[in-house]
Amino acid sequence: MKQNKSTPVTLLQVAKHAGVSRSTASYVLSGGPHVSDSTRKKVLESIRQLGYVYNRSAANLRSKSSSTVGLVFPDVNNPFYTALLAGINQELNKYNKTVILGTTFESLSAQDRLISTMLEYRVGGIILFAVPDTPEELISRIKHLGIPVVLINRNFTDLSYDYIGIDNVVAGTLATNHLIKKGHHRIAFIGGFNQLSSWQERKQGYKDAHHKAGLEIDSSLIVEGHATRESGYELMDQILNLPNPPSAAFCYNDIIAIGAMMKLKERGFTPGHDMAIVGVDDIPEASIFTPKLTTVSSFPQIRGARAAKLLNERMEGLTMNPQSIIVQPELIIRDSCSYKKEILPHSTK
Amino acid sequence: MKQNKSTPVTLLQVAKHAGVSRSTASYVLSGGPHVSDSTRKKVLESIRQLGYVYNRSAANLRSKSSSTVGLVFPDVNNPFYTALLAGINQELNKYNKTVILGTTFESLSAQDRLISTMLEYRVGGIILFAVPDTPEELISRIKHLGIPVVLINRNFTDLSYDYIGIDNVVAGTLATNHLIKKGHHRIAFIGGFNQLSSWQERKQGYKDAHHKAGLEIDSSLIVEGHATRESGYELMDQILNLPNPPSAAFCYNDIIAIGAMMKLKERGFTPGHDMAIVGVDDIPEASIFTPKLTTVSSFPQIRGARAAKLLNERMEGLTMNPQSIIVQPELIIRDSCSYKKEILPHSTK
DNA sequence: ATGAAAGCGCTAACAC
DNA sequence: GTGTTAGCGCTTTCAT
C-alpha cells in the first residue's frame, strides 16, 4: 500500500508486476469478458499490493465518455433539497454513476462558474435546478456540447428540454381551496419570488381557486421573499402589520411556513387557530412542528429518482425527444388549518 | 458558438483558427506572460467563435496537478454545514480553486466510495468531515498518495494530521456552567453519539463543570441520538418520560436543541421556563426561534475559511508540519435559560 | 485470451 | 514571442 509520493502507480506498472500487458490489465478493470480467472486474480492482487489508484480522468480522456453526473442546486440547506438529493443519489447508484454536487446560492454567476467547471471536467450529464433568470441560452449551450441536461422544478417557457417537476398550479389550487373551504376569505400568499416559474404557477392556482369561489384577491396579501425560515419569519411580521391582516396564509413552501408560524407564536398568536397556514413540499419537519403543518406534498425524493432515471436514459442514448414529467401533488391535512375562529385581532406587540 | 456534437473543439483547432501554434494558445489560457496582446486577442476570439471548452482533465493529466478540492461532508441539511460550506467556498475562491462536494449521509461505505471517486479524479486536496469510526488508515492512505487532507471537527486520537475544530471541552463547560449558575442541578446532555470525538469532548466539559460545582451526574440523563431536529424531538420525549426529569438540558447542537424545544411546547411546557435549554453552534435559526436559544457559538463560517486556507497552503506546499487549529467557542446568552422556577412537573401527556 | 500500438487533449521543455 | 515535440495514463482496434 505504501509507495513513493512523487510517482503514482500506473496501470502499466500494475501490468508489469502481474506479468501481463497493459491492455489485459485494463480489461480486468473495466470488467471485460475476455480475461481468464487466474489473470484477473493476479492483476487484482498487484493492484492491491502496489496501492494503485485508477485515473478516471485519463480514462475519460481516452474513451471520450464520462459516467459522472453534475448536480447543480441553488442551495442545500432545506430538507426539501436533501430529499431530492437522496432520490437522485439512490437512483444513480443503480447505474454506477457518480455524482458531484455544486451549490449556486441562487447566484447566476456562481451557477455559470459551476457549470463551466463541470463542463471542463467533461461530466456525462447534468441535473440542473436553475437559478431564477437563468438564460435559456445556457442550457442550449450545454446541449450543443452533446451533454444531456435534466431540469428540475424550474422550468423554461420553451419546453424543448427534459424537465421534471410538479403541477404547481394544482398545488396552489389544492392549498387555497382547502383554506377557502375552511371559511377563509382573506388569504395571503407568502414567500418565493416572481421570477420562479414555480412561484408563478402556484400563484396561478391561488388565483384560480379564488375566482372559482367568487373571491377577490387583495394584492397587498401577496408578499415575496427568499425560501428560508428566516424569510418566512420576516414576511409574517409584515403580514401581521398590515392594516387588515388576513386570516390565512398559503406559504410558498414548508420552510417558509415554519418560519411564519414561529413569528406568529412570537407575537402571541396560535398558528392554526388565529391564522391558518398551509405549505408545500411535506418536509419531515412539517409533521413535527407544533402545530403539525398542513401541506401539499411535492414528493421530492420520488422526483429526484425520476430525474436521475431520465438523465441516465439520455446518457445511454435511449430515448430521444424531450420529456416533461409532471408529478401530481397531494394535500396532506394536519393541524395548522383548524376552523377559522374570527378575524385576527390587530397586532399587539 | 454552434458546433457539431460529435467532435468537441480542441485547443489545436483553436490555434489553427487563430493562426498560431498550440502552445501559444495554451499560454493564453493559463495566463502565461510570453504572449503579445494581439495574439491573445486573436486566440480569445477564436475560442469564443468556435465555442471551445477547456478540457481540465487533459490538462491535469499532463501537468499532474489539480486545483480542485474535494469536500466530504456527513450531511448537508443543517445550517451549521451551510455556514461551514460558505466559509470554505469563499476562501477557496480567492485561490481560484474549485470545489466538488460529496455527502456521506454518515455512512462509512458511502464515504469510502466518495473518497475513491475523488482520488480517481485526482483532486488536489480534500477537506474531510469524517464519519464516526472512520479508520485512521483511510486518511493515511490519502496522504501517502501525496494528497493533502484537512480534517474538520472530528478528530483522531493521533494528532499527526491537519485539523481544525473548536475546543469542545470548553464548549461543554461553558454551557453547563451557565446552567448550573442558573440554579440547575439535574442537567441532561442530549443528542450526538459517543463515537464522535466532539461528543466525548463536550461531555467531558459537562462532567468537569459538574465536578467543579460538586454536583453528581445522573447517567440516565445522558441520551444519545442523531444530530437532527427530529432526533432532538424524540430525545426530549424520552427525557420527559423519565421518573425524575431534569430541569435543564445541554444539547449537543442547536438543531437538536430546537427539536427538543418543539417537543417541550407540544407537551405543554415552556422552554426556558419549565426547562432551560442550551445548544451549540449558533445557527441563524437560534436567534429566531421562540424562545431565542442560548447557545455556544462554534463559528462555523470562520472555521470553514481557516480550513480552506490551511488546505491551500498544503496544496501549494507552503508549510510542512501538521497543524491543529482550535477555535475558542463563546457563550451567547439569549432567552432559553431564564431562571429556574421549580422542578419540572411530572409529564402530563 | 492476450499483446502491440495508436492516440484522446493538453502542457512544458526546449529551440528558434 | 512563438513553434516543435514528447509524453501524461488510459482505452481500443487489430493482430496473434
The average pLDDT across A11-35 equals 88
> Is a pLDDT exceeding 70 seen at residue B4?
no
How far, in Å, is the CA of B63 from the C1' of nucleotide C6? 22
- What is the number of CB-based contacts under 8 A between chain A and chain B? 134
Residue among B163, B164, B124 at smallest CA distance from B142? B124
Q: How confident is the model at residue B250 (pLDDT cuts 50, 70, 90)?
A: very high
Q: State the pLDDT at residue A277.
A: 98
Q: State the pLDDT at residue A271.
A: 94
Residue type, B244: N
- Give me the residues paired with residue B69 across strands: B99, B125
Q: State the pLDDT at residue B100.
A: 85
How far, in Å, is the CA of B93 from the C1' of nucleotide C16? 39
Does A55 contact strand D, using a CB cutoff of 7 Å?
A: yes
Cβ pair B282, B331 in contact under 8 A:
no
Number of C-beta neighbours around residue B194 at 10 A: 10
Using one digit for the tens of pLDDT, what is the confidence trace for A280-313?
999 988 988 889 999 999 999 999 999 999 999 9
How far, in Å, is the CA of A28 from the C1' of nucleotide D14? 19
Q: State the pLDDT at residue A76.
A: 82
How would you class B239 by CB atoms within 10 Å of its CB: exposed for 0-12, middle for 13-18, buried for 19 or more? buried
Does B58 contact strand C, using a CB cutoff of 7 Å?
A: yes
Q: Which of A58, A101, A144 sits opposite B101 (nearest CB)?
A: A101
- The nt closest to A35 (CA vs C1′) is C1
Q: How confident is the model at residue A106 (pLDDT cuts 50, 70, 90)?
A: confident
Q: State the pLDDT at residue A344.
A: 53
Best of B68, B98, B228, B267 to disrupt the A interface (most A CBs within 10 Å) is: B98
Residue type, B79: P
Using one digit for the tens of pLDDT, what is the confidence trace for B160-218?
899 999 999 999 999 999 999 999 999 999 999 998 889 999 999 999 999 999 999 99
Choice among A5-19, A113-127, A237-251, B105-119 with the minimum mean pLDDT? A5-19
> Is a pLDDT exceeding 70 seen at residue B6?
no
Q: State the pLDDT at residue B5.
A: 46
> Is a pLDDT exceeding 90 seen at residue B229?
no
Q: Which of B8, B121, B290 sits opposite A262 (nearest CB)?
A: B290
Residue among B82, B69, B81, B75 at smallest CA distance from B149? B69
The average pLDDT across B229-255 equals 95
Q: State the pLDDT at residue A3.
A: 39
Give CA–CA dist B247/B338, Å, rounded. 11
Does A23 contact strand D, using a CB cutoff of 7 Å?
A: yes
> Is a pLDDT exceeding 60 seen at residue B227?
yes
pTM comes to 0.86
Q: How confident is the model at residue B339 (pLDDT cuts 50, 70, 90)?
A: low
Strand B98-103 versus strand B330-332 pairing type? unpaired
What domains appear along chain A, each with residue ranges and CATH number?
11-54 (1.10.260.40), 68-166+300-328 (3.40.50.2300), 168-297 (3.40.50.2300)
Preceding amide of B33 cis, omega within 30: no
Query: Which is more confidently placed, A340 or A162?
Result: A162
Q: State the pLDDT at residue A101.
A: 87
Q: State the pLDDT at residue A37.
A: 87
Residue with the three cell numbers 490538462? B59
Q: Provide the edge-to-edge strand list for the sheet that holds A98-103.
A: A324-327, A162-166, A149-152, A125-128, A68-73, A98-103, B98-103, B68-73, B125-128, B149-152, B162-166, B324-327
Give CA–CA dist A192/A86, Å, rounded. 24
The average pLDDT across B113-139 equals 92
Q: How confident is the model at residue A5 (pLDDT cuts 50, 70, 90)?
A: very low
Which residues have a Cβ under 8 Å from the Cβ of B246 and sit 6 or more positions away?
A: B184, B186, B187, B188, B218, B221, B239, B275, B344
Which of strand D's nucleotides are less than 7 A from any protein C-beta? 1-5, 7-13
Q: Considering chain B, what percentage of its residues have pLDDT values greater than 70?
A: 93
CA distances in angstroms from A338 to A58, A170, A275, B262, listed in the order given:
61, 22, 9, 20
CA distances in angstroms from A269 to A101, A225, A274, A344, B338, listed in the order given:
40, 22, 6, 9, 22
Do A262 and B6 count as a contact with CB atoms less than 8 A apart?
no
Do A56 and B121 count as a contact with CB atoms less than 8 A apart?
yes
Which of strand C's nucleotides are less than 7 A from any protein C-beta? 1-5, 7-13
Give CA–CA dist A162/A153, Å, rounded. 11
Q: Which residue is nearest to nucleotide D5 (CA to C1')?
A: B23
Coil, strand, or helix at residue B165?
strand
Coil, strand, or helix at residue A151?
strand
Does B93 contact strand C, using a CB cutoff of 7 Å?
A: no
> Is a pLDDT exceeding 70 seen at residue B284?
yes
Residue with the three cell numbers 480534500? B126
Best of A100, A231, A261 to disrupt the B interface (most B CBs within 10 Å) is: A100
Cα A225–chain centre separation: 19
How far, in Å, is the CA of B31 from the C1' of nucleotide C14? 20
Give CA torsion, residues A200, A201, A204, A206, to 10 deg. -100
- For residue A168, give the DSSP letter: H
Which element (helix H / strand E) includes B62? Answer: helix B56-63
- The nt closest to A120 (CA vs C1′) is C9
Q: How confident is the model at residue A349 (pLDDT cuts 50, 70, 90)?
A: very low
> Is a pLDDT exceeding 70 seen at residue A6?
no
How far, in Å, is the CA of B73 from the C1' of nucleotide D3? 47
> Is a pLDDT exceeding 70 seen at residue A348?
no
Using one digit for the tens of pLDDT, what is the confidence trace for B49-95?
999 999 999 999 998 889 999 999 988 878 899 889 989 999 998 99
Q: Which residue is nearest to nucleotide D2 (CA to C1')?
A: B24
Residue among B278, B303, B101, B123 at smallest CA distance from B191? B278
Does B55 contact strand C, using a CB cutoff of 7 Å?
A: yes
> Is a pLDDT exceeding 90 seen at residue A163?
yes
Mean pLDDT (chain A) is 90
Using one digit for the tens of pLDDT, what is the confidence trace for A62-96?
988 898 999 999 888 788 998 899 899 999 989 98
What does the block give as the cell for B267? Answer: 407537551
Give CA–CA dist A288/A291, Å, rounded. 8
